[in-house]
């Protein structure tokens, strides 16, 4: 495994403690691990596997993604009350044709950090993949119960997003009752599909889009009564009360932010805003945006529990706190006249600053 800690020729390293860029000599597969912060404890965050097909330079895209996502993990873990900092891993490759040897090589890269980074599953990765990575790295979570893990982290991620939606409804509509509320769900994979189930159980009308037939079929089992449309454009054109992005990031562009009918945007996808300007446009239009790192923390709570006993009831109870945290952040945003993302970042940074001060003492 060849590694380097240099951030050149890419920008964006500022604020990070360390970034590893590596290549598996046998396959040529590129890998990136970004450690944003370990102030609260070992960095914890998922590993994703993708090819970045739209990027002119996939390697640069992978590096930038790791930097951006690791920073968000620092905030996510801080807001969730976890004793973990933020980190993220990227394997640059096709997730449909994984080579177990590549996953084992990635596990060795994680292990080279000697516990400073704990990995878990993310986009393009499965529980079975985490089991393979765990063969070469003891700092691996999101594994199967047979391997000592807590299984699919989508279970509690979806619960946290659901509770975040309820909190947004309470703040915006004066009630967290979702009966009859129309929610547009983008992506019905392991998070979006389960979220749709929670929403249907709460009486919401759910209309969704996902290009995967398998995902749609599973979602129909999780969420009886869900309605699908044929394209993303068709969904985004519908008059929904709440928009919930649960696929890849960057969905909310400046154009879309100027057009959507929803009064609330709350979903499980990471990095939903294509640019920082989008957040300001949403605020100007009176649309409440719940930052992804505020509400999609259930999965990291679940895998963090794997490190200290695997008590799912305890993890579920902590995930339920997303409701109270979201209400507090939205109230802070209102009272201080700032965007919710700013209020959420401030709350996370204050906790990190307190921890850093205690370490100095």
DSSP codes of every residue in 37-85: E-SSSSEEEEEEEE--TT-SSHHHHHHHHHHHHHHHHHHHHHHTT-S-E
Cα separation of 298 and 320, whole Å? 9
- The answer for residues whose C-beta is within 8 angstroms of residue 12's C-beta and 6 or more apart is 64, 67, 68
Determine what percent of the chain falls in helix, strand and coil, rounding each to the nearest 5: 45, 15, 40
CB 113 within 8 A of CB 20: yes
Query: In the sheet where 288-289 sits, what is the strand order?
Result: 227-228, 205-209, 182-186, 242-245, 264-265, 288-289
Q: Is 12 exposed, middle or buried (0-12, 13-18, 19+ CB in 10 A)?
A: middle
| Residue with token string 């129909």 | 220
CB 75 within 8 A of CB 37: no
Cα separation of 153 and 166, whole Å? 21
In the 8-state DSSP scheme, what is residue 124? T
Q: Active site includes 88?
A: yes
CB 91 within 8 A of CB 48: yes
| Residue with token string 């998922």 | 46
| Residue with token string 């979702």 | 178
Check 88, 98, 190, 318 and give the catalytic one.
Answer: 88
Here the tokens at position 32 are 């990136």
How many Å separate Cα 21 from the centre of its chain?
22
Cα separation of 141 and 134, whole Å? 8
List the one residue out of 71, 62, 65, 58 whose CA is nearest residue 16.
Answer: 71
CA dihedral 246, 248, 254, 257 (to 10 degrees): -10
Which residues are annotated as catalytic?
88
């Amino acid at each position: 495994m060849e590694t380097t800690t240099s951030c050149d020729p890419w920008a964006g390293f500022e604020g990070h403690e360390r970034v590893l860029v590596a290549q598996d000599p046998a396959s040529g597969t590129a890998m990136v691990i970004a450690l944003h912060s370990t102030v609260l404890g070992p960095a914890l965050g998922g590993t994703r596997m993708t090819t970045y097909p739209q990027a002119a330079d996939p390697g640069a895209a992978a590096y930038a993604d790791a930097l951006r996502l690791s920073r968000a993990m620092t905030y996510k873990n801080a807001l969730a009350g976890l004793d973990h900092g933020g980190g993220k891993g990227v394997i640059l490759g096709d997730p449909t044709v994984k080579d177990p040897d590549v996953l084992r090589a990635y596990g060795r890269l994680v292990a080279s950090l000697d516990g400073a980074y704990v990995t878990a599953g993310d986009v393009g990765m499965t529980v079975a993949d985490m089991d393979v990575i765990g063969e070469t790295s003891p700092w691996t979570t999101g594994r199967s119960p047979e391997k000592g893990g807590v299984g699919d982290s989508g279970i509690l991620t979806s619960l946290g997003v659901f509770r975040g939606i309820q909190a947004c409804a309470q703040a915006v509509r004066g009630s967290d009752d979702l009966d009859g509320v129309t929610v547009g769900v983008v992506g019905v994979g392991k998070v979006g599909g389960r979220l749709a189930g929670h929403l249907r159980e709460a009486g919401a009308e759910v209309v969704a889009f996902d290009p995967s037939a398998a995902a749609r079929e599973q979602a129909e089992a999780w969420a009886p009564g869900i309605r699908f449309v044929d394209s993303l454009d068709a969904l985004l054109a519908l008059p929904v009360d709440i928009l919930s992005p649960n696929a890849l990031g960057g969905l909310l562009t400046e154009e879309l932010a100027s057009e959507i009918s929803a009064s609330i945007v709350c979903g499980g996808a990471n990095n939903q805003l294509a640019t920082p300007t989008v957040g300001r446009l949403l605020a100007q239009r009176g649309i409440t945006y719940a930052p992804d790192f505020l509400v999609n923390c259930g999965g990291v709570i679940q895998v963090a529990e794997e490190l200290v006993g695997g008590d799912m009831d305890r993890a579920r109870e902590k995930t339920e706190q997303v409701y109270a945290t979201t209400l507090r952040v939205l109230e802070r945003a209102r009272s201080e006249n700032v965007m919710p993302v700013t209020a959420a970042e401030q709350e996370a940074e204050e906790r990190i600053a307190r921890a850093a001060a205690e370490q100095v003492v």
